[in-house]
Amino acid sequence: MEKAGDLLKSFLNNSQMDTAKRYSSLFRSWGEAAGTDIASHSEVIDIKGDTVLVGVDHPGWMQMIHFKEKNILRYLKKQFPELGICKLHVKLIEKDIYQRNKMSEKKERGTASPGSKKEFEKVLQQLKISIENNDKNFKEGK
């Protein structure tokens, strides 16, 4: 029986295989791009042209991604310049489907524990402080 990689090689040329590997790397590096808190409540769903489509399990995480969008895009552009990523599109994923997928992934890794309301409130509090600090620095001309 042939390996999946061998079958793919027979259909794709080396350039296409390299591109496929880069796309795959982007999916795996979402945690580094977005940070562990955001990544635990979101995932890259697809890459369409110059846009990364991200799914989140709660509207609050959507706001967090929009708040950090410039930093996330900067990271993705630096790590994957050949993909030409310049936009993020974030959408809410149906919660029970999303949680089922995330929990099955965590079970495979042996880290199954759903995020708590306290964790989310802590992250929102950090966001609030960060926004207040940014506003203060902006007003002071820093």
Domain ranges of the chain: 4-114
pLDDT of residue 112: 44
pLDDT band at 105 (very low <50, low <70, confident <90, very high): low
| Confidence check: pLDDT of 57 > 70 | yes
| Confidence check: pLDDT of 99 > 60 | no
**Considering the chain, what percentage of its residues have pLDDT values greater than 70?**
51
Average pLDDT, the chain: 75
- Contact of 79 with 52, CB cutoff 8 Å: no
Check residue 98 and report its DSSP letter: H
Please choose, from the candidates 138, 124, 130, the residue with its C-alpha nearest in 3D space to the C-alpha of residue 41: 124
* Rounded CA separation 112/72 (Å): 26
Segment 16-33, tens digit of pLDDT: 555 566 777 888 899 999
Count the Cβ atoms, other than its own, within 10 Å of residue 8: 12
- Where residue 84 falls (left for φ over 0; alpha for ψ -120 to 50; beta otherwise) is left
Q: Which is more confidently placed, 84 or 8?
A: 84
- Contact of 17 with 8, CB cutoff 8 Å: yes
Check residue 81 and report its DSSP letter: G
Query: Any idea which residue has 């090689």 for tokens?
Result: 9
pLDDT of residue 55: 94
The CATH code belonging to domain 4-114 is 3.30.300
- For 12-23, b/e burial (b = at least 16 CB within 10 A) is eeeeeeeeeeee
Across 47-75, average pLDDT? 94
pTM for the model stands at 0.58
Q: Which is more confidently placed, 7 or 31?
A: 31
